[in-house]
Amino acid sequence: MSAPGRSQALTPKPFKGEGTPLNRRAPASPLWRRIRDDGMAVVSVMGMTKNTGKTVALNHLLACAAADAVDVGLTSIGRDGEEFDAVYSIPKPPVLVWPGTVVATARDTLMRSGVRTKVLAGSGLSSPLGEILIVKVLDQGEMEVAGASRSHDQLRAIESLRRCGASQIFVDGALGRSHHASPAMADGVVLATGAAIGGGIADVLRKTRDRLAILAIPEAGPEMRSTCAELFAAQGVGLWTRDGQPLWQAPIASLNAGGELLAHDGAEVGRVAVTGAVARQLWAALLTLAERHPGLVVIVADGTRLFVDATDLAALEARGARLLAYRGIRIAGITLNPTSPLGGHFDAATFLASARDACPRHAVTDVVLESSHPASLTERSPHGATAA
């Protein structure tokens, strides 16, 4: 979330009436262009921590999509757009919606909405704030959004948005949860980072790179994916030779997988795949296998299933092993918030330049700076060139 006082990238003006003409001008946004041109139909917006500008980034994308007359769908993993932060009791930026946006949100949030809505359908999904309803926004303004929290419910909500006409869907992420970044749910992820993480620019960027190292682990190639496709469809763990010949598979939970993998270890092991969550105990077993089998390939579902940190990834790599995702997460971009509501801020231009240097493989932007100085800013592409 952005710090209080930091202006939105584009703030809608009061608007009444579904048929009234709307000025949909918005800044030319490299982030939006990348999402649109790469066909990322479902995009999750997630924050490194609270107050890193997630809602401001979301509002920027909603405005850009409205400017392009795209049929937009919106939902949230948790709750966003409420007036005050539940933890720090500080003002929060509202979610800014546009006429025609289709939203999956809990019934009780509609009573606090700053816009008129029309109920299109029920979802059958329950939440602490009532049933998740699919509604069409009739006005331009502020809205609180609270969607389904469980992965399978969120997938149902997304499908409901599609059935109601949404071709571009944004999922507002929740602190402490990353399942909405999984390729099983989203085609792309926007990661918001900023001064609220704490420390200086170098500290913030180090922590951001560490998070990216986990989220953006490379995707396995077609041959490896084909080898373990049956396992990932059925769930469980498995071992293969270096050339992909099966050695052992079992439909067991990853919580109990470490001991089983070591018990079935053999001289021919060259690949291991785990479909579930990978926490410390299982990671220790994978490190043991990596020591025994130089060149070992470890395949996990995706980066959201890893409950380890960047130093653990480095330890596996130091043993000569490779970590791959069955389905890789596409990082659509990284957005920056140089201010913190708890005190301290960075110079926005310096922060942006430093972040682009620190994350050369990713598209990095500050949507507020981009909006206020569009002619003077260029965005460096993930390969180091600059793009207008």
Query: What is the per-residue pLDDT across 206-264, written as a single tens digit (0 to 9) for each?
Result: 999 999 999 999 999 999 999 999 999 999 999 999 999 999 999 999 988 999 999 99
Mean pLDDT rounded to a whole number for the chain: 87
Give 47's Cβ-side CA count (13 Å radius).
Answer: 25
Task: Give 3-state DSSP helix, strand, coil % of the chain, rounded to 5.
Answer: 35, 25, 45
- The whole-angstrom separation of Cα 275 and Cα 233 is 9
H or E element, residue 109: none
Asked if 60 and 10 touch (Cβ cutoff 8 Å), the reply is: yes
Shortest CA distance to 254 belongs to which of 287, 281, 234? 281
Q: Is the sign of the CA dihedral 8, 10, 13, 19 positive or negative? A: negative
The pLDDT tens digits of the residues spanning 26-67 come to: 456 899 999 999 999 999 999 999 899 999 999 999 999 999
Token output for 250 = 């079992």
Q: What is the pLDDT of residue 151?
A: 87
Taking residues 106-135, report their average pLDDT.
Answer: 92
d(CA 244, CA 224) in angstroms, rounded, equals 7
CA distances from 199 to 196, 338, 341, 374 (A): 9, 12, 14, 29
pLDDT at 385: 38
Read off the pTM: 0.86
Q: Is 155 exposed, middle or buried (0-12, 13-18, 19+ CB in 10 A)?
A: middle
Q: Judging by beta carbons within 10 Å of its beta carbon (0-12, 13-18, 19+), is residue 84 exposed, middle or buried?
A: exposed
**Phi and psi based region of residue 248 (left: phi greater than 0; alpha: psi -120 to 50; beta: remaining):** beta
Per-residue pLDDT tens over the stretch 260-292 = 999 999 989 999 999 999 999 999 999 999 999
Cα Dmax for the chain: 71
